[in-house]
A and B are shown apart, each in its own frame.
Chain A
Amino acid sequence: MVIKSINWEICNDCKLRQENRCPVADSCSLDVIRLDDEGKPHIAYAEDCHNCFLCSRDCPLEAVEVSSMIPLLIMPY
C-alpha cells in the first residue's frame, strides 16, 4: 500500500477537521480518501493510490502518512 495511514489522534485536533473543512479528500483525484458523515477522513481505496503526496502536502498537521513504496505490477524486463 502506498498511502499508509491517517493518524486520527493528530487529525482530531485539527481546526479544519472540526469545522468540517478537511482538505485531504479533495486532494485525491483518485478517490482513495473519503470523508465520513462527520467530515473525518479515512482511506477507502488504498490500492488505487499513485503516491502523488498531495494529501500529505495538504494536511495542515501532517497526519497523513504516505509511503514512497509502490506495489510493482509488471516489470519491463
Chain B
Amino acid sequence: MIMEANAILDQEIEVDVLVVGGGSSGLWAAIRALDFCPRVIVADKGKITSSGVSTMIHGVQAPLEENEILTAMKELVEGSVFLADQDRLSILLREMGLRFKEMVDWGVPFERDADGKLHTQHRMGLKTNRMAFVNGRQMMREMKAKALAGGVWFLERAMITDLLTSDGYHPSQGRIVGAVGFNTITGGFIIIKAKAVVITTGLIGAKQHLSYVDGLTGDGTAMALRVGAELENMELSQSAAFSLWERSFSTGGQAEYMRAGAKVVNSLGEDIILKYAPDKVEPFLSKLNICFAAVKEILEGRGPIYMDMRNLTDKDVALLRNVLPSAMRAFDEAGVDIQKQQVEITPAVHHWGTGGGIKISPDGETNIPGLYAAGCASHNSANYVSGAGQPQAYNFFSGYRAGERAGRMAAATGNAAIERKQVELFMDSVFAPLSRAAGPSPGDLYLAVNSATVPAEYSFFKQELRIKRVIEELQRLQAEELPVVRAHDIHELVKANEVRNTIPVLEAIFRCSLERKESRHAHFREEYPYRDDINWLKWVIIRKDSRGFVIRHEDIPVDRYPIRPDRREIVPGLIGFALGQSRE
C-alpha cells in the first residue's frame, strides 16, 4: 500500500517495523522484516524509485564462486588498508549471491551477454571481484513491486525527524519505540509507533548539487547520534570523485569510465596513474587515490586535470548509455563527446558517509535497543574499494540482515508506550523555523557548511589546526545559526530540518579526523603522512552523551582475521603532501 502524499494530514500510525529510507537497503530490510511480522512500513522523503542513490547506480558486485571468496576478500581488505570488519565482509561475500539470485527471480534486469550469461567485468585494480551491470532505476522498480506485492506499506514524501524513546530522553537509556516526522508537501505531522526502527538513510551530503545526493543529508545518522547510538570510522567517510566536469556540470560514473580504460592526465600530459603508481600497485588504483593525486597535482601547479576517454570503444559507450543514462544525458546536454575530446575534471569531496557510519553488529543492531541500521548509513565493511559494486552488495546483505533481526525482535515484543511529552517537544522543534520572521535560510547554512568543509585543505589534506577551525565553525553554526534558521514554507522546512542533521554529523566526522593521528585510506593527516599499523589498527568510535561527544577506540582484531598485514610497521603514504610546502 502506498500512502499518497497529498492525502495525508496529521496522522498516527502503529507498526511493527519502521524502515527510514527507501533505497535498496531499506527495501531489502522491509521485505525481510515482513517474513516475521505483518506491519512493516518504509518512510521516504521522496518517492521510492526516484530518491536516494540506489536509483542512480549502474552495477552490483557479481556473485562469487566459493573458491574465489578468500581471494576476493583479500582484495577488499587490502583496499580498505585493513579497516574492513572481516567478520561482516566474510558474511557479505558468502550471502550476496543468495540476494543476487532472489533479485534475478524478481525480474531485476541485469545486463546479459548475447548467450544469456550475466555480463560481468573486472573493475580497475581488482582481479577477483567483478561487477554485474544494471540500470539502478529498473532495479528499484522491481524491488518496489516485490515489496508492495508482499504487503510492505510505503509512506512517501515523509521526512522522519526524530526517534521516540521509551524513557522520553535523548540520549536515551531506554529503547526505541517509534519516530515522528512530517509530510514534505502538506506539513502534516506524523507519529509512528514502532517496535523496531531500521535506519537506511544512506550517505551524507551537504547539497553541493554533485552526484545526485542532495536529498541525502545524514538524517538517520543524526537521529541515531541524538539517541546515543555509536558511529564508527567517520574520519574515513569522505567520498572523493571527479563528479564535476569542465567546471560546469556534474555526472556520476567516473569509476566506470576508468574501468573502461580512461586515463587521467595533468596539464603537461602526464598520466598521473603511471606517475604515482608506475607498476599500478594495488590499492592505488581506486578513484579515491587518483583524486588525492589529482588534487596534489593541481595544488602544485600542474592542473587542470583531464580525463581522457578517447580510447573508449562504441561498445563501451553503448553499455554506458544503458546503465548510466543520466550521466550520458549530462555529457550530451553539455555538448561533450567523450570519444573525441579530453574533459577537464575537478576532484572534490562531494559527500560523506562512504567508509563510516552507524556502528552495527553483523545483524544490523546498534547499541540502542530497538534501533537497527543498514546500507550506507551504517559502517560499511566493504565500501573502501570504489566502483566495484560493493556498496550495493553491502546494502542488500545488510538490509536483509537488519530487517530479519528487527522483524524477529518486533514479533517477540509487545507495543511500547510513547511519551506524549516527547512527541509534543519534537512537534514544536520541527515546525519552529516556520514561525520565525527573520533569520538565515537553510540555504545560507548549507553555504556556510560547505565553505567550512569543502576546500581541499579541510576535506582532502587535513591538519590539526585546520580541523579545529572546521569544528569551531560547525559548533558556531550549531549554537548561533541553527536555533534561528527560518523557513518560509514547508519545502524550506524540510531543508531546515535537514541542515539540523548535517551539521552535527559533520562535526562528528571532523572530531574523529582529529583523533586519528596517521594517514589511512580516505583520511590524510598532513602532520602524519604515513600509515601507522603499530598504533592505529583501530576503529574510532564516537557517540554523544548529555555532555557532548565522547570518543573511544576499538582494536581491529586483525590477529584473528584471515587477512592481516605481514607485519605491524609504519608505512610511508602513497602520496606525500604538505600544503605549506606546496605554497612555498
Contacts and interface: CB of A to CB of B under 8 A. Distances in A.
Contacts of A75: 247, 346, 348, 454-455
Interface in B477-495: 491, 494-495
A21 B173 CA distance: 48
B249 A68 contact: yes
A73 B209 contact: yes
Given A50-B250, A54-B50, A77-B455, 16 more contacts: A26-B47, A28-B46, A28-B50, A31-B494, A50-B209, A50-B210, A51-B212, A51-B250, A67-B333, A68-B249, A68-B333, A70-B210, A70-B248, A71-B209, A73-B450, A75-B348
B580 to A, nearest CB: 15
Which of A27, A31, A44, A67 is the most central at the interface, judged by chain B CB atoms within 10 Å of its CB?
Answer: A31
A77 B456 contact: yes
Contacts of A54: 50, 55, 137, 326
A69 B209 CA distance: 10
B212 A74 contact: no
A29 interface: yes
A2 B209 contact: yes
11 contacts: A29-B50, A30-B46, A44-B491, A48-B214, A48-B495, A50-B212, A51-B209, A51-B330, A54-B50, A57-B326, A68-B249
Contacts of A29: 45-47, 50-52, 215
Contacts, number: 118
Number of contact residues on B: which range applies? 35 or more
| Closest 7 pairs between A and B when the two form their complex, measured CB to CB | A29-B46, A29-B51, A68-B249, A50-B214, A53-B326, A68-B334, A68-B333
Nearest to B336: A68
B135 to A, nearest CB: 10
A43 interface: no
Given A2-B209, A52-B212, A74-B450, A68 B330 contact: yes
B220 interface: no
A52 to B, nearest CB: 5
B347 interface: yes
Give the one of A51, A71, A75 with max B CB within 10 A: A51
Contacts of A31: 46, 157, 184-185, 491, 494
Given A2-B209, A31-B184, A69-B249, A76 B326 contact: no
Given A29-B50, A29-B51, A51-B250, A74 B454 contact: yes
Interface residues of A, number: 31
A22 B495 CA distance: 26
B326 to A, nearest CB: 4
Interface of A is mostly: loop
Contacts of A73: 208-209, 447, 450
A76 B349 contact: yes
Contacts of B46: 28-31
Interface of A: 2, 26-31, 44-45, 47-54, 56-57, 66-77
Contact of A27 (B50, B330, B331): B50
Contacts of A69: 248-249, 334
A76 B346 contact: yes
A29 B51 CA distance: 5
Q: Of residues A44, A56, A57, A74, which shows the largest number of chain B Cβ atoms within 10 Å of its Cβ?
A: A74
Contact of A74 (B299, B325, B333, B451): B451
Given A26-B50, A51-B330, A52-B56, A77 B299 contact: yes
B501 to A, nearest CB: 16
Contacts of A51: 209, 212, 249-250, 326, 330
